[in-house]
Chain A
Amino acid sequence: DQQVKQNSPSLSVQEGRISILNCDYTNSMFDYFLWYKKYPAEGPTFLISISSIKDKNEDGRFTVFLNKSAKHLSLHIVPSQPGDSAVYFCASQGDSNYQLIWGAGTKLIIKP
């Protein structure tokens, strides 16, 4: 059973608009969350993270929101740009150690 779920395999957004990518987790012991971005033929690269003591973290056009009661986090990209087209992975730090638990990824397509 997947502990981290990204229920949308793909998402298409108009350039300039907001992109919202969602991630749900099941383990209430998870206390650190990360978003990675992956282009074709490259490895994932770190984008932004959030600790469970916060409910929001912002870095330029990227903002991650955490709703602990709902076990839900989301990544907002405003405004969306063509270079944002990529696969986005959500990852949670495991409750027992340093292991990262990964979602299946969401492919974001930014339309010109």
Chain B
Amino acid sequence: EAQVTQNPRYLITVTGKKLTVTCSQNMNHEYMSWYRQDPGLGLRQIYYSMNVEVTDKGDVPEGYKVSRKEKRNFPLILESPSPNQTSLYFCASSLQGGRGKNIQYFGAGTRLSVL
């Protein structure tokens, strides 16, 4: 089954404790992206990756890191989480990141609370 898998689904942590949210896709997609969803703001892009070893900032990259060492995996790293990073996070992938039809497939989400 084609899917994007995020782990964990739920996470409660404390300020400053480094964490990683994993994302894996089995569709051989080149393009992967991380979003955060906050009430009234829709989805905002954090980072994206066009291919292995190619990553770039989205609209809200501060406080986050990513890496793309393998095509299928795109982990999101919070080196020193803060309460304003409490949010619902989604990983997405698509066949390519070019203009035109850019249908992205999403993971089920990770709800993060930073105390």
Contacts and interface: CB of A to CB of B under 8 A. Distances in A.
Interface residues of B, number: 26
A93 B31 CA distance: 15
B43 A89 contact: yes
B90 A32 contact: no
Contacts of B35: 102
Contacts, number: 62
Nearest to B41: A104
Given A43-B90, A43-B106, A104-B41, A98 B98 contact: yes
A98 B95 CA distance: 12
B97 interface: yes
A42 B103 contact: no
Interface residues of A, number: 25
Interface string A67-104: 00000000000000000000001010100011110111
B108 A42 contact: yes
Contacts of B109: 41-43
A77 B52 CA distance: 39
Interface stretch (A12-20, A44-52, A58-66): A44-52
Contacts of B41: 2, 104
A46 B104 contact: yes
A104 B42 contact: yes
Interface string B44-73: 110010000000001000000000000000
Contact of A43 (B42, B48, B98, B107): B107
Nearest to B48: A99
A17 B23 CA distance: 39
Interface of B: 4, 31, 35, 40-45, 48, 58, 90, 92, 97-109
